[in-house]
Amino acid sequence: MIRGVRGATTIELDKPELVWEATAQLVQEIVKVNLVDIESIASVTISTTPDITSAFPAKAVRTLDGWQFVPIMCMHEMNVAGALPLCIRVLMHVNTDVAQQDVQHVYLNDAVKLRPDLVGK
């Protein structure tokens, strides 16, 4: 069965190295807390708020060991007034037998504001 695993993080400035570092940290934390085998990842969708334009976050993921064959796609979020700025979101599709309520979604930095109901679950 495929489950969606969510995560988000923020950066302080739109600089390529910050985009790549934050994205790599986020996907590695999602994999770690959910005990995901990279071979079980069907695909990853990464979105950023429109104020992130300096780099493709997927580049950071593709350079991680074992990730070069995982399908990854980047896109921008809707530009909604009052939205959390400088935010990177991940939706990872994982083949797993884990029940949906047991999936551990990961929110880092200011992104903890997005889903306080899931932080530390």
Predicted TM-score (pTM) of the model is 0.93
pLDDT tens per residue, range 17-67: 999 999 999 999 999 999 999 999 999 999 999 999 999 999 999 999 999
41: CATH: 3.30.1330.40
pLDDT tens per residue, range 37-48: 999 999 999 999
Instruction: Look at residue 105 and tell me if it is in a domain.
Output: yes
Catalytic residue chosen out of the listed positions 3, 17, 39, 77: 77
Answer yes or no: 115 catalytic. yes
Instruction: Look at residue 120 and tell me if it is in a domain.
Output: no
Residue 119's pLDDT band, with cuts at 50, 70 and 90, is low
Instruction: Look at residue 58 and tell me if it is in a domain.
Output: yes
Residues spanned by the domain of 56: 2-113
Contacts of 114 (CB under 8 A, 6+ apart): 8, 84, 87, 107
**Number of separate domains in the chain:** 1
Answer yes or no: 87 catalytic. no
Contacts of 78 (CB under 8 A, 6+ apart): none
Instruction: Look at residue 13 and tell me if it is in a domain.
Output: yes
Mean pLDDT of the chain: 94
Answer yes or no: 3 catalytic. no
Instruction: Look at residue 119 and tell me if it is in a domain.
Output: no
Tokens 């071979």 sit at which residue?
39
Instruction: Look at residue 35 and tell me if it is in a domain.
Output: yes
pLDDT tens per residue, range 72-115: 999 999 999 999 999 999 999 999 999 999 999 999 999 998 88
Instruction: Look at residue 121 and tell me if it is in a domain.
Output: no
How distant, in Å, are the alpha carbons of 3, 28, 45, 72, 118 from that of 113?
23, 20, 21, 25, 10
